[in-house]
Every structure is written in C-alpha cells, then in structure tokens.
Amino acid sequence: MSESVVVVGAGVIGTAVAWRCAQRGLSVTLLDPAPERGAWHAAAGMLAPITELHYTETPLLHLNLDSLTRYPSFAAELSEEAGQPVGFRECGTVVVAWDGADLAALQDLHAFGARLGVESSLVTGRELRALEPALAAGLPGGLLAPGDHQVDPRLLHAALLEAGRRRGVTYVPSGASVVGDASRVTGVRTDDGTVISAAHVVIAAGCWSGAISGVPAAAVAAVRPVKGQTLRLRLPGEPVLRHVLRGAVKGTPIYLVPREDGQIVVGASSEEAGYDVQPRAGAVYELLRDAQSLLPELSEAVLEDVSTGLRPGSPDNAPLVGASGVAGLIHATGHFRNGILLTPVTADGIASLVATGELPDVLQPFAPTRFSPAEVPA
C-alpha cells in the first residue's frame, strides 16, 4: 500500500501539495470545509519577485525567484493534466512613481535590486507612456521588470482541484483536528468524528494554520490573519494595459493586473483586523482613488467584484515550509503576500519531503521552527 498523506486546507498551497504528492503515487486526502475562504480567492496572482523586493526581506527574494523559474512548466503541466487553463501570462511588470519622492524611493530600490543581481531598468516618464499609453499624463518615471508575470488564482485553484481529482486525491469537505500526542502526529479527525490515519499530516490552512486543534504546542504555526481587499473591474473594448502595473501613490502601494479577458484586478489593502472579512468602504475608496490616479480611464469601468481575503502573515513575512518539529506533522503555510508565487516551489518541496524525507536546499531557511516560542500565537 502506498504511504498516506493528509493535507489540511484546500487553498492553492494545499491543492498543489495534494496534486504533487498524488503524482508521486502517494495516497492523498485533502480536507477543507470551505476552500473559497482561501486567500487565493481575493489574490491578484502577481508573480513578482523583483517588484515585490523589500529591503528587509532578501532571503525571500531567492525563494521567490526560484519559484518563478518553476512557473512556466508548472503551469503547462497543470493545465495539461487538468484539461483547463490557469491564466499564466508572461506580460512583464511596470512600476510607476506618482511624484518625485515616489520616484526617488523607486530609484533607491532599483539600486538595491541591482546589487542583488535582479533584472530591471529605470524608465523616464515619456518611456512609461510609450510602454503604457493609457497611463495618466505627467507621471515622472518608473521601472520595467520584464521578468515579473501573472497567473489567475481562481483559474489556478480550479485547475489544481481538478488535476488532483484526476490523480486520485480524495477531497473531504470538512474541518480537521490533529490526532496524536506531543511527540507524534498520526492523522486527523474530521468534523463528524471520523479518524483518518496518515503517515504525514500537512498543515496548509493559511491564516487558520495556527488555530487547528490538536496540534502539539511546540508545533503551532506562527501565523496571523492580514486582511486584504481587491477589486475586479472591466473596461469595454480593447485591453488598456499590456503589463502588470504597480505603483506607489504618495507612498501607498497599488497594483492593477490586466487579465487576458479584459478584467483588471486592483489591489490591495493590508489590514490587521483579525478574522473579519467584511469589505471596508475606506479601503475600496482608497484603491479606486489611487488606481484612477494612475489610469484615469478606470473611472468608466464596471465594478464587477469586491473580494476580501486573509493572508497568512508570519513574523518575518516569509513562509513556514517543512518539518514542524513534531514527527508526522509538516507545515506549508505563512506565505503572506507570496502564496500564489510560491505555490510551485512549496508543492515540489513538500512532495519531496514526504516522498524522500529530503527538503530542497532553497527551502531550508524557511523552517517553521525558526521562530522563538514567544512569536507563536497563544
């Protein structure tokens, strides 16, 4: 009999881990009471290690870059196995500055990135208009990152569920509590009391990962919910944007992600609001205000959707991937802003860990056990 794996959480990370494990011939059960609650549902799907670079997060850059290189084959293989598209677009990303101070900040960040060897180039205001003619007039300049792309998380998630199903993943629409003791986890218990035994339990429950009952205290994941809101708009006629568009408007980050079908995803707020997922008027207003200041035509768009998701934030903004410190329990969570981007490397890494006991080197710095007990939610 093949070795068994239970994956708790059917967001993009959980479904991808389940699919990759099933591909390796493992017997996989996937549990989630409500997969659409996942952060993926609101996520824009930017695959942007370069324009998502932060001064204090250089270890994450290398992981993000690694996962991006996996995307073309990951997307192609997934699309083939699921028989449906995933919306992967190699469109590049343009970052625009709103005023001189935003441009100065962008120039500093560009210099920092250049020292780390990432590929991007500064562009003038006129060059910006040539790249994206629909941009507001008079923007002082920006940056072109030709390697930062996008995927459609809603298509991606549907394809991952379907590919898993075709590979024999058993999906159970239920919550889960972990079964075992302080030294070993042996399976999970579903909401109706059924116990599913497994050699490996993978926690991929996003921001809820730290709140799953039965997890030994020493192995509780250090994650918290960080609310994010995104909007989906549509302009009639030809697509107005060629690239993913990002910017800082008077210091506040904003992005516009153009889908193949003409939809534009605008995001995102970042709010420490607990598990609340109600849309907040001020966040919608600020997103529309800043998006329109970069792309004036947006005022005529149809507002199709307001989505709210809860990112799984970790203390250092980097994911928790690998052994939890308790035998039989593995974490694949805490991906914060980069869950969609980090899906391939996480799924490949966890499948490798489960099947061979080896976690790829690139994931070694992101051990779930790197935080002090004080940093883990009580």
Partner 1 sequence: MDDVFSIAGVELASRLILGTGGAPSLHVIDETLAASGTSMCTVAMRRVDPTTSGTILDVIDRHGVRILPNTAGCRTAREAVRTAQLAREALETDWVKLEVVADERTLLPDPIELLDAAESLVAQGFQVLPYTNDDPVLARRLQQAGCVAVMPLGSPIGTGLGISNPHNIEMIVAEASVPVILDAGIGTASDAALAMELGCDAVLLASAVTRAQDPVAMAEAMALAVRAGRLARTSGRIPKRFHAQASSPTEGMAVL
Residues contributing to the site for partner 1 (CB under 8 A)? 54-57, 108, 112, 210, 222-225, 251, 271-276, 313, 315-317, 374-378
Could you count the other beta carbons within 10 Å of the beta carbon of residue 79?
Answer: 18
Q: Are strands 252-258 and 244-249 parallel, antiparallel or unpaired?
A: antiparallel
Q: Quick one: tokens of 294?
A: 């970069």
**Nearer residue to partner 1 within complex by CB, 108 or 119:** 108
Angle at 78 (CA atoms; ends 77, 81), nearest 5 degrees: 85
Under 8 Å between Cβ of 353 and 368 = no
**Nearer residue to partner 1 within complex by CB, 70 or 371:** 371
Rounded to whole angstroms, how far apart are CA atoms 6 and 175?
12
- Residue 260 C-beta: closest distance to partner 1, Å: 33
- Residue 117 C-beta: closest distance to partner 1, Å: 18
Q: For 140, list phi and psi in degrees, rounded to 5.
A: -75, -15
**Nearer residue to partner 1 within complex by CB, 168 or 251:** 251
Question: CB-based contacts of 218: which residues, under 8 Å, 6+ apart?
Answer: 182, 325, 326, 373
Q: Cα–Cα distances in Å, from 226 out to 150, 275, 285, 300?
A: 22, 8, 19, 30
- Residue 278 C-beta: closest distance to partner 1, Å: 13
What DSSP string runs through 194-219? -EEE-SEEEE--GGGGGG-TT--GGG
**Nearer residue to partner 1 within complex by CB, 123 or 249:** 249
Question: CB-based contacts of 331: which residues, under 8 Å, 6+ apart?
Answer: 202, 203, 209, 219, 221, 320, 321, 322, 323, 324, 368
- Residue 265 C-beta: closest distance to partner 1, Å: 24
Could you count the other beta carbons within 10 Å of the beta carbon of residue 239?
Answer: 14
- Residue 294 C-beta: closest distance to partner 1, Å: 17
- Best CA proximity match to 61, nearest among 48, 46, 45, 70: 48
- Residue 215 C-beta: closest distance to partner 1, Å: 14
**Nearer residue to partner 1 within complex by CB, 315 or 325:** 315
Residue carrying the six token digits 């805490």: 334
**Nearer residue to partner 1 within complex by CB, 180 or 228:** 228
- Residue 91 C-beta: closest distance to partner 1, Å: 27
Q: Would you give the distance in Å from CA 162 to the centre of its chain?
A: 19
- Residue 315 C-beta: closest distance to partner 1, Å: 5
**Nearer residue to partner 1 within complex by CB, 137 or 374:** 374
**Nearer residue to partner 1 within complex by CB, 316 or 348:** 316
